[in-house]
Amino acid sequence: MRQRVFSGIQPTGRLHIGNLVGALNNWVRMQEQYDTIYNVVDLHAMTVPFDPDEFKKSRLNTARLLLAVGVDPARSLLYYQSQVPHHAELTWILSTITGIGQMERMTQFKEKAGRAGQNMGLFSYPILMAADILVHRVHAVPVGDDQAQHLELTRHLAERFNSRFGEVFPVPERITPEIGARVMSLQDPTAKMSKSDHSDASRVGLLDEPDVLRKKFRSAVTDSGREVSYDWDQKPGISNLLELFSFFAGRGIDDLVDEYADAGYGAFKSAVAEAVVEGLTPIRTRYRDLDDAEVARIMEKGALEARTRAEKSMRGVREAVGLGAR
């Protein structure tokens, strides 16, 4: 049997190349090797303030973008998390075996704690994430560094559930991409490229027009000196650009350093920009060619199939805890 993997992405804001390099590219590649299940995690996105009409649109646009980057509904189970109520059901069951102290240690929660709009959903967010993964009994989860702690919690909950109620869940492993696990901001190479950064110049959107994108690379912050070399301590700006270049051009970093060492920062940055433009053009084209009704149909079909699979899995969970039908 092929190993199952699950991953999810929130439909908030516009996706950027950090999301592509750190997450979505892996999603696409894994379709070749695994039984893949992907979610637009709309329930997670409700933990921060939102406008329902905007929310509905960004949910659809996120699904459309996933299809545009190459998530293939013929090979992956793709759906909106909220359309399969079993995620919420399992969240409740798992919350009854989760320690409050354990949740209070979650770094992402601590970072968000104290801001306006504090709510219980933000606190129990990692339990819903654990449920996403465990409801399908998956074996592996591709996530960036920032989600590592949540995956640890998931592993812990799987083990705790199994030791209390019998072997039900596989304990999921983490899959990390080899290069570019973290794409840094173009304006501050010591900070992660992020959709919440107030500076639009700090990130490259997957749907940015080529000219907008070229301008962002031209104004990217570089380091002192003028030699292009791969050195995260001395040259974080250039190193970040080298990793992006390597990813989009499909070339090794050493090879690029050989070619651009003495080219000067300006020429190097425009070469990086061209490689990124070339890599993103097919995505923009596919995005434009998909229509909303088609995306909605694909998402409904995914949810239907997922409900069947999740129901089968949840029957075992209910039996194990004494909530079986008879």
The rounded distance, in Å, linking the Cα atoms of 315 and 164 is: 17
Residue ranges in 116-155 that form contacts with ligand AMP under rule CB under 6 A: 143-144, 146-147
| 192 is a catalytic site residue | yes
Comparing CB distances to ligand TRP, the nearer of 47 and 222 is 47
For the chain, list the strands marked E by DSSP. 4-9, 35-40, 76-80, 140-142, 173-175
Residue closest to ligand TRP when measured from CB atoms = 8
Comparing CB distances to ligand TRP, the nearer of 143 and 280 is 143
Q: Are 159 and 171 in contact (CB under 8 A)?
A: yes
Q: What are phi and psi of 196, to 5 degrees?
A: -95, 0
The rounded distance, in Å, linking the Cα atoms of 30 and 4 is: 10
The rounded distance, in Å, linking the Cα atoms of 215 and 211 is: 6
Q: Which does 192 bind (CB under 5 to 8 A by kind): ligand AMP, ligand TRP, none?
A: ligand AMP
| Choice among 56, 57, 110, 192 that is catalytic | 192
Q: How many residues interact with ligand TRP (rule CB under 6 A)?
A: 13
In the complex, minimum distance from the CB of residue 262 to ligand AMP, in angstroms, rounded to a whole number = 29
Q: Which does 18 bind (CB under 5 to 8 A by kind): ligand AMP, ligand TRP, none?
A: ligand AMP
Residue closest to ligand AMP when measured from CB atoms = 22
| Stretch 167-206: interaction string toward ligand AMP, x if CB under 6 A | ---------------xx--------xxxx-----------
7 binds ligand TRP (CB under 6 A): yes
41 binds ligand TRP (CB under 6 A): yes
Comparing CB distances to ligand AMP, the nearer of 4 and 192 is 192
Q: What is the DSSP letter of 325?
A: -
Residue positions counted in the chain: 326
Residue ranges in 9-28 that form contacts with ligand TRP under rule CB under 6 A: 9-10
Of 1-9, 49-57, 71-79, 231-239, the window that binds ligand TRP (rule: CB under 6 A) is: 1-9
Q: Which does 83 bind (CB under 5 to 8 A by kind): ligand TRP, ligand AMP, none?
A: none
Long-range contacts of 168-174 (CB under 8 A, 24+ apart): 168/137, 168/316, 168/317, 168/320, 169/134, 169/137, 170/137, 170/138, 170/139, 172/6, 172/133, 172/134, 172/138, 172/139, 172/140, 172/141, 173/139, 173/140, 173/141, 174/140, 174/141, 174/142, 174/143, 174/148
| Stretch 43-62: interaction string toward ligand TRP, x if CB under 6 A | -x------------------
For 26-166, list the strands marked E by DSSP. 35-40, 76-80, 140-142
Which residues, listed in sequence order, are joined to residue 16 by a DSSP beta bridge?
Answer: 205
Question: Are β-strands 140-142 and 76-80 bridged in parallel, bridged antiparallel, or unpaired?
Answer: unpaired
Comparing CB distances to ligand AMP, the nearer of 89 and 188 is 188
b vs e for 71-81, b when ≥16 Cβ sit within 10 Å of the residue's Cβ? bebeebbbbbb
Of 63, 66, 127, 129, the residue at the interface with ligand TRP (CB under 6 A) is: 129
11 binds ligand AMP (CB under 6 A): no
In the complex, minimum distance from the CB of residue 226 to ligand TRP, in angstroms, rounded to a whole number = 37
Phi-psi domain of 117 (left: phi exceeds 0; alpha: psi -120 through 50; beta: other): left
Of 20-28, 50-58, 66-74, 83-91, the window that binds ligand AMP (rule: CB under 6 A) is: 20-28
Active site residues: 112, 192, 195
Chain positions contacting ligand TRP, by CB under 6 A: 6-10, 41, 44, 129, 132-133, 141, 143, 147
